[in-house]
Amino acid sequence: MAVTLSPYLVQALQPLTVLVAAPGLSGWIAKVEARLQGRRGPRVSQPYHDLVKLFGKESLAPYGASRFFLAAPVVAMCCYLTVPLLIPVLTTFGLPLGYAGDIIGGSFLLALASFSVAVAAAESGSPYAQLGASRSKTFGAITEPVMLFVVFTVAMITATDLPYAQAAAVRSSGDQVIRPAHLLASAALFLVILYETARIPVETHTGTNEFGMIEEARAFEHSGPHLALLKWGSAMKQLILYTILLDVFLAPWGLSSTTGVLSVVLAIGALIGKTALLGCVVAVIDNSFAKLRLFKISEFVAAAFLLAVLAVFTLYLGGG
């Protein structure tokens, strides 16, 4: 007789899986990129070692910063832990909180996390941190509407904005995945993910002091456990976006259809395998193109918006 888990336990496993696996995905991508460049590169487990080291240090705050400076990493982490409750991470069916919010609500939570980190960076008084916060919100005003437009496009294609229902619509037939409108919307989301995760051809994510830094610059004045939370949250955001692209848009297979222990464990393995494969694709893109100049980011995002618009036209012109 198969051993089954409580739906509430499986519900808790979804954010826990994202929490534990996110640093490993970042380490895997860094390793693949190093191999593509002919280097040995860091260990896949290096992000975990970095987090342990940061949690053992002291947290400091700039003079004059409010309490929100230290609260922002916690707020962002809470947002990143909430989103996996609303999307299909391990199961094909909605868990107790699976229908508590739609994919638009998840997008707002990600936006709230980004806003909190940007406000904390602006409070620090550091020129680099403030510059990163300013750029983050400037380009966020462009990318976030594009992401919402992609969500609306897929909602029109699948006739729902609930992630579990959208995944079920795509999973119902392989033809759903190759529909022109769906492919265009997925491509638009992929371009937005490249920007949101600080990958080529947009900006640096290696932590070097460059004027093109956005994601890394915002955390310049944080230290110790709060810096660890920011880095961990950034890795979780990357895994969450990969999961949305794979488990809702492109490959919603490998998920568990029951709460059986073996089925859930296989679903965890499938998620890690799919995101690792997508990470390899991102690493290849990351090493194949030169960085864009900062003012070119708007053109890059405009291309994503154009793909989403083409998806809508394709849908209504009979190709959806």
Residue 201's pLDDT band (cuts 50, 70, 90): low
State mean pLDDT over 207-232: 77
Q: Mapping DSSP to helix (H, G, I), strand (E, B) and coil, where does residue 310 land?
A: helix
State mean pLDDT over 201-211: 55
Give me the pLDDT at residue 25, please. 95
Q: pTM of this prediction?
A: 0.90
Q: Is the pLDDT of residue 302 over 90?
A: no
Q: Is the pLDDT of residue 171 over 90?
A: no
Q: Is the pLDDT of residue 107 over 70?
A: yes
Give me the pLDDT at residue 154, please. 74
Residue 263's pLDDT band (cuts 50, 70, 90): very high
Out of 5-9, 10-14, 248-252, 291-295, give the one with best mean pLDDT.
Answer: 10-14
Longest dimension (CA), the chain: 62
Give me the pLDDT at residue 204, please. 56
Closest CA to 118 of 105, 135, 104: 135
State residue 4 phi and psi, 5-degree precision.
-115, 155
Q: For residue 319, give the H/E element and its range.
A: none
Q: Where are the alpha helices (DSSP H) in the chain?
A: 7-36, 46-55, 68-82, 103-123, 127-158, 163-171, 174-177, 180-196, 224-244, 261-288, 297-314
Give me the pLDDT at residue 266, please. 94
Euclidean distance between CA atoms 164 and 173, whole angstroms: 15
Residues 62-75 pLDDT 10s: 887 888 888 999 99
Please state, for a pLDDT cut of 90, what percent of the chain lies above it. 32
Euclidean distance between CA atoms 212 and 1, whole angstroms: 57
State residue 256 phi and psi, 5-degree precision.
-80, 135
Residue, of 207 and 305, whose pLDDT is higher: 305
State mean pLDDT over 252-270: 90
Tokens of 105: 């609500």
Residues near 269 by Cβ (< 8 Å), separated by ≥ 6? none
Cis before 127? omega within 30: no
Q: Is the pLDDT of residue 210 over 70?
A: no
Q: Is the pLDDT of residue 213 over 80?
A: no
Q: Which of 119-133, 143-157, 248-262 has the lowest mean pLDDT?
A: 143-157
Give me the pLDDT at residue 148, please. 78
Closest CA to 179 of 200, 161, 157, 201: 157
Q: Is the pLDDT of residue 207 over 60?
A: no
State mean pLDDT over 279-302: 81
Q: For residue 178, give the H/E element and its range.
A: none
Q: What angle do CA 236, 214, 207 make, to 5 degrees?
A: 75
Long-range contacts of 55-64 (CB under 8 A, 24+ apart): 55/224, 55/225, 55/228, 57/223, 57/224, 57/225, 58/223, 58/224, 59/222, 59/223, 59/224, 59/225, 59/226, 59/227, 60/223, 60/224, 61/221, 62/123, 62/124, 62/125, 62/126, 62/221, 63/125, 64/125
Q: Which of 2-16, 78-92, 164-178, 253-267 has the lowest mean pLDDT?
A: 164-178
Residue 12's pLDDT band (cuts 50, 70, 90): very high
Residue, of 158 and 196, whose pLDDT is higher: 196
